[in-house]
Amino acid sequence: MVRVLLDGSLAGWRAHARALAAACVSPTEIEWVDLLRHREPGGELFGAPQPSPLPEAPSQELGVPRAFLARAETVACHRSSEVWGLLYGLLHRLVNGERALLDDPLDPDVATLTRLEKAVRRDAHKMHAFVRFRRLEDEGSRNGERFVAWYEPSHLIVAREARFFRERFPSMDWSILTPDGCAHWDGKAVTLSPGAPRDRAPDHDELEELWCSYYASIFNPARVKLKAMEAEMPRKFWPTLPETAQLPELLADVPRRLEEMARTSRRMADSAHPFVPKAHDLDTLRAALPACEGCELHRNGTRAVPGHGAPDAAVVLLGEQPGDTEEREGRPFVGPAGALLREVLEGVQLQEQDLYVTNAVKHFRHEVRSPASGAGLEERGKRRIHKRPTTQHTSRCQPWLDAELALIQPRVLVALGATALRSVHGPTARMPDPCTAPAPVASRYAPVTLSTFHPAAILRAPDAARGEQMRAHLAATLAEARRSAGLVTGSRPPGSR
């Protein structure tokens, strides 16, 4: 039986393992004793035992796969003293004909290697997450300060993970103290020293209050799962984490905050419903609209713009939202996009008396920009730039559209643009290809529903050819709307409502 005393390092094990493997010594004939992980019996009486002298390197290379060396480097950090016997057993098999051994996950030794490797990597992940540095004044450091952390890893990973912290915090001098060993960085090199007790590290600094305030602000009571949290952040790490000191208070406040979030959610989910009256005519809806506070757009200094047109219109044109000019005048489609729309309507002989025009969102969503430097006198003053409404804005404003169209009951609905289209058919609806013919479908609002491009999108087309395609599609869609509604040259058929 060969007895090998190791100093706990991978380099020491490799030196002995190479020599033993070259001599074809069987794993069953070797006793590996790790002096770092296992204290020898009687050591206190007769002095600490010393590692076995390193043997000479064998004359021939063993040809060990690189994958094994990389995995051995990780597994060597595992706290179990059995890792050396496991690694040598795998090495012996690899150099004696089983070259594909590591590719067999069902092999018992390979399965054990994988389990230990995962444990070390998991411990390293927790170290990256849970090390908390605290500032100390240190005249010998580069900036007169050193950041010190105390941490208790499950495995012997301090030297290995020092590389991570060196790359993560290269500009600050730091020390990580653990019971097994300590790592120090001075901007030039990482140095290692023996383990240290916890009282060698500070337990507070002036940044801690700021960090705790930040943690409390991002604490989400809706996602609290105490068992899952303890699994990811075991309680043994809590004493060194400043944020955990306030966890009992934050957890005690969870029921109240959840109820507050639920009330807010209910209020926002049906945000426009409390403001939409049970109206029997469009005038009642228009009178109630200015009081709507269903979304934050009511706070942006603009007024809500109601729909406009015949209360029994055969065709409803649905746009996205009012623009700058529409908001100022209080009517939809009176700006540049409206001028283009009227041109196309005239071309297809669809007249105003047969139409009702409205928008999916009733307020003007915008951002305010200052003029560019050097602007002339005519350009001075801030400009309000259109911003597309979000899906949330559309859904919160939906009750107004529901009420309008329930009163009008159009035969044909034309959605102008993607926002209008998705308010009718849902968030997954897609705009048509401008080269295709109009495709009527049924919807909850009208037996015939068409979709085409918003006039504003045509004005913003990337080039003239694309703009002409989009305008042609708009004209064809409006012509189809007139035909589907049974209108002849803009007049209603006899007996129509």
Confidence of residue 258 (pLDDT cuts 50, 70, 90): confident
Q: Is the predicted pLDDT of residue 75 greater than 50, yes or no? A: yes
243: Cβ–Cβ under 8 A, 6 or more apart, which residues?
A: 211, 212, 215
Within the chain, what is the greatest distance between any pair of CA atoms? 117
The arithmetic mean of pLDDT across residues 421-444, rounded, is 93
With CA atoms as reference, report the closest residue to 256 among 246, 264, 266, 267.
264
Ramachandran angles phi, psi of 175, nearest 5°:
-140, 135
Distance CA 285, CA 307 (A): 10
Point out the least confidently predicted range of 3-17, 352-366, 382-396.
382-396
Residue 146's contacts (CB-CB under 8 Å, 6 or more residues apart) are 135, 136, 138, 173, 174, 175
Q: What pLDDT is stored for residue 496 in this prediction?
A: 46
Q: Are 467 and 461 in contact (CB under 8 A)?
A: yes
pLDDT > 50? residue 107: yes
| CATH T-level assignment (fold) for domain 279-370+381-484 | Uracil-DNA Glycosylase, subunit E (3.40.470)
Q: What is the pLDDT of residues 159-216, one digit of tens each?
A: 999 999 999 999 999 999 999 999 999 999 999 999 999 888 887 777 777 777 777 7
Label residue 263 by pLDDT band (50, 70, 90): low
Mean of the per-residue pLDDT values for the chain? 87
* Cβ-contact 181, 199 below 8 angstroms: no
Closest CA to 84 of 153, 181, 156, 152: 156
Give the model's pLDDT for residue 193.
94
Distance CA 177, CA 438 (A): 72
> Which pLDDT does position 301 carry in this prediction?
67
Q: Note the pLDDT of residue 124.
A: 96
Gyration radius of the chain over CA positions: 37
DSSP for residue 99: T
Q: Which position has the higher pLDDT, 245 or 12?
A: 12
Q: What is the pLDDT of residue 269?
A: 53
Work out the angle between the directed axes of helices 108-130 and 158-168 (0-180°, nearest 10): 40
- The count of other CB atoms within 10 Å of the CB of residue 257 is 15
Instruction: Identify which of 187, 127, 183 has the alpha carbon closest to the alpha carbon of residue 152.
Output: 127
Does the pLDDT at position 44 exceed 90?
A: no
Least confident of 89-103, 184-198, 228-242, 396-410: 228-242
Tens digit of pLDDT for each residue in 325-353?
888 899 999 999 999 999 999 999 999 88
pLDDT at residue 42, as a whole number: 45
Please give the structure tokens belonging to residue 132: 């908390």
Residue-range domain boundaries for the chain = 2-127, 131-200, 208-269, 279-370+381-484
pLDDT one-digit tens code per residue, 27-40: 999 999 998 876 54
| pLDDT at residue 267, rounded to an integer | 55
- pTM score of the predicted model: 0.50
Answer yes or no: is pLDDT of 16 > 80.
yes
pLDDT at residue 221 in the model:
77
Length of the chain, please?
Answer: 497
Residue 208, burial from CB neighbour count under 10 angstroms (0-12, 13-18, 19+):
middle
Closest to 240 (Cα-Cα) out of 151, 135, 156, 124: 151
Cα gap 383→95, rounded to integer Å: 76
CA distances for 240 relative to 229, 236, 437, 477, angstroms: 16, 9, 67, 67
